[in-house]
Amino acid sequence: MMFKLPEEITKNLKDYSNPDENLFAVYKYVNEHITNDDDLEQLYLAIIEFKPNAQIVGQYAWELFEKSRIEVAVSLIKNKEKYSGDDHAWKCFKSSERDILPISFTNPFKVYEAKDAANLNVTINIHGSMHQVFECIKEENVDIDAIDDHYQNTFDFTYKIDDDNFIKVVVDGETIFEGNISKLKINSSNTEQGYDLSLPKRKYISPKLEKIKQIKSFCEFDADEVWVSKENHLLVIPQGRLEGDRGLELAPNFNNRYSMINYGKYNLEATVKVKSFAISDLFFQIDPCMCDLISEPSDGPFYNFSKIFHYEEGELELEIKDNSLKDTEFEKGWLYDL
């Protein structure tokens, strides 16, 4: 049964040609008479049917979208050939259109499901020339060159994995993704930051951000800082490893801290057992200070990430299966200090 417009709303829509007058009258009516979202939706649809002005449609599509009536909002925006209005009305409509229909929110990665009670065996292999950064501790008055075994002084380490490194993802013996890291489309030129995201994209990634914040090291992460791939919506967390870490308790002074930077060919591997898997189950972490510690040629290769996480299983530890070192350098301080 079609919603019957209240007489006072019908009269206003007929008597006033200015959509701002119409919107204000409806706003007052809603505050006085509408108590649930179902009635609100029916009211808005009836108004649009009666007066299909582009400004009115844009406003109500946006309000319905905000109330998670997404399918209705999208349908209203897509039927724009049915609406009319002056330049201002269409400007208002297009503003809502940009926010409601910016991207398709389908998962571009195939989902693999385990059979019966078994788990899927997922293996991620990364290999190529890369840097491994060791954060080391020493006595303040000890010179770095006087230290014989730096590995004994290591507190922590991480990797600088670049876009020309090769990644291969295998699920139960089947290769489901392979190619250069650049194929993931997660470097700075292929991503947008959280504070620049449209509302629809924010809503889309919100459940993932909530899971990320359940991981202890990211519990205080600012969602506005997340990087989101423009192509496949993979997430990158730009946060240094040592935020809130006990490393600063062990080496409270700058002169206690130094970095050992190894460069060479590495073959890294991470494994995880899960009931279902897709590449979109992964997110990545970069250290924002990495490129201050290790300079990059103007033509690349470019830093893409240091660590891989699974939304449910947490960090996937990258184990060295093989490596061949070419060079080692030392720097005062840690990534934290840059």
Mean pLDDT per block of 10 residues along the chain (338 residues) reads: 81 91 94 92 94 96 86 90 95 90 72 90 98 94 93 93 98 97 94 86 84 90 93 91 63 91 98 96 94 90 96 96 96 85
- What's the pLDDT at 85? 94
Residue 209: enclosing H or E segment and its boundaries? helix 199-213
- What's the pLDDT at 17? 87
* Spatial contact of 227 and 188, defined as CB atoms under 8 Å apart: yes
* Spatial contact of 182 and 300, defined as CB atoms under 8 Å apart: no
* Spatial contact of 21 and 59, defined as CB atoms under 8 Å apart: no
Q: Count CB neighbours of 327 within 10 A.
A: 9
DSSP 84: B
* Spatial contact of 131 and 295, defined as CB atoms under 8 Å apart: no
- Sequence-distant (6+) residues with CB within 8 A of 263 are 129, 130, 131, 132, 325, 326, 327, 328, 329
Please give the distance of CA 294 from its chain centroid, rounded to a whole number.
25
H, E, C per residue of 126-139: EEEEEEEEEEEECC
- What's the pLDDT at 192? 94
- What's the pLDDT at 127? 97
210: left (phi over 0), alpha (psi -120 to 50) or beta: alpha
- What's the pLDDT at 326? 97
